[in-house]
Structure formats: structure tokens, C-alpha cells
Amino acid sequence: MDNDFNETYITFDGHVEVQKYRYLYFVIMFTAYILVICSNSIIVFVIGINKSLHEPMYIFIAALLINSVLYSTAIYPKLLIDFLSERQIISYSACLFQWFISYSLGGSEYFLLAAMAYDRYVSICKPLQYYTIMRKTTVNILLILAWLMPACQFSVGLFLSAYKKLCYFILKGIICNSTVHKLHCVPSTVHNIYGLILFVGYVPLPVLFILFTYTRIFIVTYQSSREVRRKAAQTCLPHLLVLINFSCLSTYDVLLARLETIFSQTVYLVMSLQMILCHPLFNPIIYGLKMKEIYKHLKKFFS
């Protein structure tokens, strides 16, 4: 197999499990893709056309849903083509690009969830200073950082991997995730250290910050009236559910990459499908049903 960057092709072995029912899987995944695009886009559209929803919290929600659309668009089309193909292959460059998009958007997601937690913290714990702190400029800066920082930092990992010599050409699973680095002939110490730094910066630190802010919110609301506690629960609970769901799926991804020999092929496939299906559909369901203002405007939109 030629190791030139543009000519090297990798074979997925996870599709073997679905070849017997590939047309059924195609229909299921195509339906899921349409649902992801429609559900996320409708809520973003509703937030965009209603000025009452042009608040930092809803703007961050719209950004999260845009992330879901971008992630699904990077994954689903290739997956659908694979289900209809006799041989499931992808070029090394396209595989790295898929990895880059997935992990950049994952880092962006944690950053946005941290920004939303900070927004709720200021709103509940410092209500008199809210509009001074969460100005339009502040929100725009946070959005730009949430998308640009992960993209710039993960692009370093992309370039570190781009011209590495490959000794293996079969990738376990159905999408390009962090297991792509196991195809290299020689593991890169620099790459591993850089990956660890990114992992700490984009997972434990944001999660600890979010837990800290929600702990402060809980303390403040516990000492307040029932009405304050109710309103805090209405806005904070959906964010916590999304954080828990995304953190569990991120844990799945780490397990798939580090413990791939422990799982059977079927379990590996099911866990991979959960990552692709659950999160992009979970966000619009939670925010559409649990956020009172969004739900109200959605009802008006459909009626």
C-alpha cells in the first residue's frame, strides 16, 4: 500500500457487522440524518426569528445545535455511502479531516457548555450585574473563541499526523476517531503529550468549571424562594442533562480508543452508533421540550 498522503486508503472493518442488513441500516441512518438536520435547524431558526430569544443563553443553545448539524454533516454522508458500497474505504486525508472536524466540534461543545454555565451563574448569582457582564460583545467573543480555539489547536494534531508513515490500513469501527493514530508505524510521543494536554484543557477543566458554577447556583437558590428555585431548575436542568449525556459519550470515545481489544465487534458497533445517533438528536429534544420559552415558540411555529 502506497504511503503517499493523498493516495493512501484505509478500510473500515466495523461495517462487516452491518452488511447483511445494510439497506435497513441505510434507511435508519438516512432517517436519523434528516431528523438531526430538521430538528436542530428548526430550533436555530426559531431562535433567530424571535427577538425575545436573542439572549445569551439562547444564542449559546443555537451555537450548540449548529455544532450538531456540522458534526452530523461530517459523519453521515460518508456513512450512508458506505452502507451502499461493497467495500468501505476512505482516504487517509479524508479520515484525518473527519477526525479533525469531530474533535474540534467536541472541544467547542465543552467550551459552549462552560459559557452557558457562566451565563446562568451571572444571571442567578449576580442579577444586577448581568447586562453589564454579559454584553453583546462578550457573547460574540465567547462564540468566536469557542469555534476558533479548538479548530486552531486540533489543527496542530492534524499536521502532526498528516505525513506519518502508516503500517496498518484497517481501522476498527465505522468512523474515523482517535483510533486513526494507531495506524502509524511509530507512536509519536509529541503527539501523545499534545493530545493529553488538549484532553485536560477541553474535558476535565470545563467540567470542573461547570460543576463549580452550578454548585454556586444551587447554594444561592437553596437560600431563595420557591419561585427562584423553580426558574433556576427550568434553565439549568437542560444544560446539566446535555453535559451528562455528552460527557458519557466522550467517555465512550476514550474507551473505544484505549480498550478496543476488550470489546466484541458488535458491542464496538453499538457504542459507535450511540455516539453518532444520540447526541445530535438529544440536544434539540432536551432544549425543545425542557426550555419553556423555546417550547412556547415552537408550538406557535408549528401551529
Q: Once rounded to an integer, what is the mean pLDDT over residues 196-210? A: 86
Q: In the prediction, which pLDDT does 231 show?
A: 80
User: What cell does 191 get?
Assistant: 503527539
Residue-wise pLDDT for 290-299, tens only, equals 888 898 989 8
Q: In the prediction, which pLDDT does 226 show?
A: 80
Q: Quick one: pLDDT band at residue 191, thresholds 50, 70, 90? A: confident
CA pair distance 85, 239, nearest whole angstrom: 39
Q: Once rounded to an integer, what is the mean pLDDT over residues 41-68? A: 94
Q: In the prediction, which pLDDT does 15 show?
A: 56
CA pair distance 175, 179, nearest whole angstrom: 10
Q: In the prediction, which pLDDT does 4 show?
A: 47
Q: Given the DSSP bridges, would you call strands 89-91 and 9-12 parallel, antiparallel or unpaired?
A: antiparallel
**Any idea where the domains of the chain sit in the sequence?**
9-302
Please list the residues that pair with 9 across neighbouring strands.
91
Q: In the prediction, which pLDDT does 2 show?
A: 43
Residue-wise pLDDT for 111-159, tens only, equals 999 999 999 999 988 888 999 999 999 999 999 999 999 999 899 888 8
257 burial (CB, 10 Å; 0-12 / 13-18 / 19+) is middle
Q: Once rounded to an integer, what is the mean pLDDT over residues 242-251? A: 83
Contacts of 167 (CB under 8 A, 6+ apart): 183, 184, 185
Kindly report which listed range (27-36, 204-213, 237-246, 258-267) carries the lowest average pLDDT score: 258-267
Angstrom CA distances, 100 to 81, 158, 243, 296, stand at 20, 7, 21, 37
pLDDT higher for 261 or 220?
A: 220
Q: In the prediction, which pLDDT does 162 show?
A: 81
Q: In the prediction, which pLDDT does 170 show?
A: 80
Q: In the prediction, which pLDDT does 1 show?
A: 42
Q: Could you tell me where the beta strands, DSSP code E, fall in the chain?
A: 9-12, 89-91, 170-171
Q: In the prediction, which pLDDT does 220 show?
A: 87
Kindly report which listed range (36-50, 90-104, 220-234, 235-249) carries the lowest average pLDDT score: 220-234
Q: Quick one: pLDDT band at residue 20, thresholds 50, 70, 90? A: low
Residue-wise pLDDT for 71-110, tens only, equals 999 999 988 888 888 777 888 888 889 989 988 998 999 9
Q: In the prediction, which pLDDT does 147 show?
A: 93
- Fill in the DSSP letter of residue 164: P
Q: Once rounded to an integer, what is the mean pLDDT over residues 48-75? A: 93
Q: In the prediction, which pLDDT does 187 show?
A: 74
30 pLDDT above the threshold of 90? yes
Of all residues in the chain, what percent carry a pLDDT higher than 90? 32
Residue-wise DSSP of the chain: ----TTT-EEEESGGGGGGGGHHHHHHHHHHHHHHHHHHHHHHHHHHHH-GGG-SHHHHHHHHHHHHHHHHHHHHHHHHHHHHT-SS-EEEHHHHHHHHHHHHHHHHHHHHHHHHHHHHHHHHHH-GGGHHHHS-HHHHHHHHHHHHHHHHHHHHHHHHHHHTPPBS--EESSSS--GGGGGGBSS--HHHHHHHHHHHHHHTHHHHHHHHHHHHHHHHHHHTS-HHHHHHHHHHHHHHHHHHHHHHHHHHHHHHHHHSTTTS-HHHHHHHHHHHHHHHHHHHHHHHHHH-HHHHHHHHHHH-
Q: What is the pTM of this model?
A: 0.88
CA pair distance 71, 61, nearest whole angstrom: 15
183 pLDDT above the threshold of 90? no
Q: Once rounded to an integer, what is the mean pLDDT over residues 195-202? A: 83
Fold of the 9-302 domain:
Rhopdopsin 7-helix transmembrane proteins (1.20.1070)
6 pLDDT above the threshold of 70? no
